[in-house]
């Protein structure tokens, strides 16, 4: 539950330990930077500074402080990973990936619509005539189109995945705009 905190042990919190000061019972950092999370405070301190974090925490209502600290920790980690773009780089990369996947989905839906009235696989080669927007030149640079042509619209999903790999790979190491 958000407003309550675990009872503190006698050891200093990660913030006071990092700042080399005595941790008091009223320490504003103690509920959010436990002694077993020194990296979390070190990253937040490096990016925002202990004084600024203290000011932020005192201005935020107590029931929202845990979320605030989690947000600061995420932003600090992203900023240290990508000093130029930080969180915005991650957001931009995910938005580009989402647009690409939406485009791939639109192509797949158009293929289904185009292929639905046909009963035999031999007649699927005329899909370009019923759906002129699916011309090869239009989508040649997109993963859902690569290697496919009008003659193999009837491939099933498992064949496409085995042939082209999954398209939902979010494991990019760096963010570029």
Do 128 and 153 contact (CB within 8 A), yes or no?
A: no
Q: Residue 100's pLDDT is what?
A: 97
Look at residues 79, 23, 8, 84 and name the one whose alpha carbon lies nearest to residue 49.
Answer: 79
Q: Would the pTM count as exceeding 0.95?
A: no
Give residue limits of the domains in the chain.
14-81, 86-116
Distant-in-sequence, close-in-space partners of 127: CB < 8 Å, separation ≥ 6: 111, 114, 115, 134, 150, 153
Choose between 50 and 172: higher pLDDT: 50
Instruction: Give the tens place of pLDDT for each residue, 117-174.
Output: 665 555 444 455 555 555 555 555 555 554 444 444 444 444 544 444 444 444 444 4
Choose between 92 and 171: higher pLDDT: 92
Q: Residue 46's pLDDT is what?
A: 94
Q: Residue 129's pLDDT is what?
A: 54
For the chain, count helices (H), then strands (E).
7, 0
Q: Residue 164's pLDDT is what?
A: 46
Distant-in-sequence, close-in-space partners of 144: CB < 8 Å, separation ≥ 6: 103, 104, 107, 108, 167
Q: What mean pLDDT is predicted for residues 85-103?
A: 93
Q: Residue 35's pLDDT is what?
A: 87
Mean pLDDT rounded to a whole number for the chain: 74
Residue 42: band (very low, low, confident or very high) from pLDDT cuts 50, 70, 90: very high
Do 33 and 40 contact (CB within 8 A), yes or no?
A: yes
Q: Residue 98's pLDDT is what?
A: 97
Percentage of the residues of the chain whose pLDDT score is greater than 70? 60
Q: Residue 106's pLDDT is what?
A: 94
Q: Residue 67's pLDDT is what?
A: 95
Residue 29: band (very low, low, confident or very high) from pLDDT cuts 50, 70, 90: very high
What count of other Cβ atoms lies within 10 Å of the Cβ of residue 175? 20
Q: Residue 92's pLDDT is what?
A: 93
Cα torsion through 78, 83, 84, 86, rounded to 10:
10
């Amino acid at each position: 539950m958000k407003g309550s905190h675990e009872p503190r042990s006698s050891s200093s919190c990660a913030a006071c330990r990092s700042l080399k000061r005595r941790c008091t019972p009223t320490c504003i950092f103690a509920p959010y930077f436990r002694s077993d999370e020194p990296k979390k405070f070190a990253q937040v301190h490096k990016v925002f500074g202990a004084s600024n974090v203290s000011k932020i925490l005192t201005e935020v209502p107590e029931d929202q402080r845990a979320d605030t600290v989690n947000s600061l920790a995420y932003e600090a980690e992203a900023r240290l990973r990508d000093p130029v773009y930080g969180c915005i780089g991650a957001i931009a990369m995910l938005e580009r990936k989402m647009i690409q996947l939406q485009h791939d989905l639109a192509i797949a839906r158009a293929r289904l619509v185009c292929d639905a009235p046909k009963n035999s696989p031999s007649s699927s080669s005329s899909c370009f005539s019923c759906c002129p927007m699916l011309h090869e030149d239009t989508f040649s640079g997109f993963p859902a189109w690569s290697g496919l042509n009008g003659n193999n619209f009837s491939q099933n999903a498992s064949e496409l995945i085995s042939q082209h790999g999954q398209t939902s790979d979010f494991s990019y190491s760096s963010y570029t705009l």
